Amino acid sequence: DKYLSGLNRSKKSFGDRIRVLSNNFHGIDDELLEEIMVILLESDVGIHTAQKIVDAFEQRGKEIKNYDSMEDYLISILYDFYDEQNDEPIQFNSDGPTIIFMVGVNGSGKTTTSAKLIKNYKEEGKKVAVVAADTFRAGAVDQIEVWANRLDVACIKGKPNQDPSSVIMDGCKYAMENQIDILICDTAGRLQNKTNLMKELTKMSRVAQKVIPSAPHEVWLVMDATTGQNGISQAQLFLEATNVTGIVLTKMDGTAKGGVVLAIRDLLHLPVRFLGLGEKPEDLKPFDINAYLMGITK
């Protein structure tokens, strides 16, 4: 299964090493805590988050006596750490089209993820359309249009360098007139500076609200897992610029840095909604913390 094989790759640096560690288990001591720290850092959990996890491990790990319970214990600590209980479910508009903005830097996988979401929601029986509002990256409009044609959904597009907001406006009108359930908006990923980014994203929301007052219903930040801790600092800029509601973490198939999920949670306080596990439209999985933790430790 693609999901597991995707996670298995991140497991090489995490689960396999935890197991090796567990084989030589001789109780909680500084050496073990240090080894756990190294494993977390190599999985790109980041120093700040890794320290918190190691502290939790030390505090509560005194009861650990053997290999099996250590593995279970690590899972329970990471599960509590992720703390999904208070997550809002995805907000769907009960009263018209659900507008989803895709944001993120160029190359993160926004356009590919938009295609994946089209397929995902179409398969759920929803009527989907896509807005090609990334009018600044050469090729982005053509790229999403090709996917829209293949997946047989409408694509609302602008001309090169057209104001992305005006394309969003056209898309929202189209969605209202054509009883669209889900409108995926592939936005531009220019990140010259925070002020411009904020202006652009605010304008996109404002024009969407002229057509559908409750829009956008979700704003998903697409992050490339292979960029690790750098991706987190970029993400913080987007969070300051707009009301991001969730994360899509792409390229999880090509990385041993799966631990970045824990850093995202710790530093950005947002739910991870989907994982990207390849370049094709079917390579998308809803994120599930249990499956994720089983994937890295089993």
Instruction: Examine residue 286 and say whether the peptide bond preceding it is cis (omega within 30 degrees of 0).
Output: no
Q: Which of 229, 254, 256, 267 binds ligand GDP (CB under 6 A)?
A: 254
- Our CB check for ligand GDP shows the closer of 169 and 277 to be 277
Least Å distance between CB 231 and ligand GDP?
Answer: 12
- Residue 278 binds ligand GDP (CB under 6 A): yes
Q: Which of 8, 51, 91, 106 binds ligand GDP (CB under 6 A)?
A: 106
- Cite the beta strand spans of 57-180 per DSSP E: 98-103, 128-132, 154-157
- Distance, CA of 213 to CA of 141 (rounded, Å): 26
> Residue 164, by phi and psi: left (phi above 0), alpha (psi -120 to 50) or beta?
alpha
- Our CB check for ligand GDP shows the closer of 32 and 222 to be 222
Q: Are 238 and 221 in contact (CB under 8 A)?
A: yes
- Distance, CA of 44 to CA of 32 (rounded, Å): 19
How many chain residues touch ligand GDP (CB under 6 A)? 20
Residues 169-228 that bind ligand GDP (CB under 6 A): 189
Any known ligand binding at 256?
no
Closest CA to 57 of 81, 41, 38: 81
- Our CB check for ligand GDP shows the closer of 18 and 248 to be 248
Which residue in the shown chain puts its C-beta closest to ligand GDP?
276
- Our CB check for ligand GDP shows the closer of 58 and 279 to be 279
- Our CB check for ligand GDP shows the closer of 107 and 160 to be 107
Any known ligand binding at 190?
yes
- Distance, CA of 208 to CA of 171 (rounded, Å): 9
- Distance, CA of 126 to CA of 291 (rounded, Å): 26
How many C-beta atoms lie closer than 10 Å to residue 152's C-beta?
9
Piece of 29-37, 74-82, 103-111, 201-209 that binds ligand GDP (CB under 6 A): 103-111
- Residue 111 binds ligand GDP (CB under 6 A): yes
C-alpha 52, offset from chain centre: 22
- Residue 231 binds ligand GDP (CB under 6 A): no
- Our CB check for ligand GDP shows the closer of 12 and 137 to be 137
Which chain residues interact with ligand GDP by CB under 6 A? Answer: 104, 106-112, 137, 140, 189, 250-251, 253-254, 276-279, 283
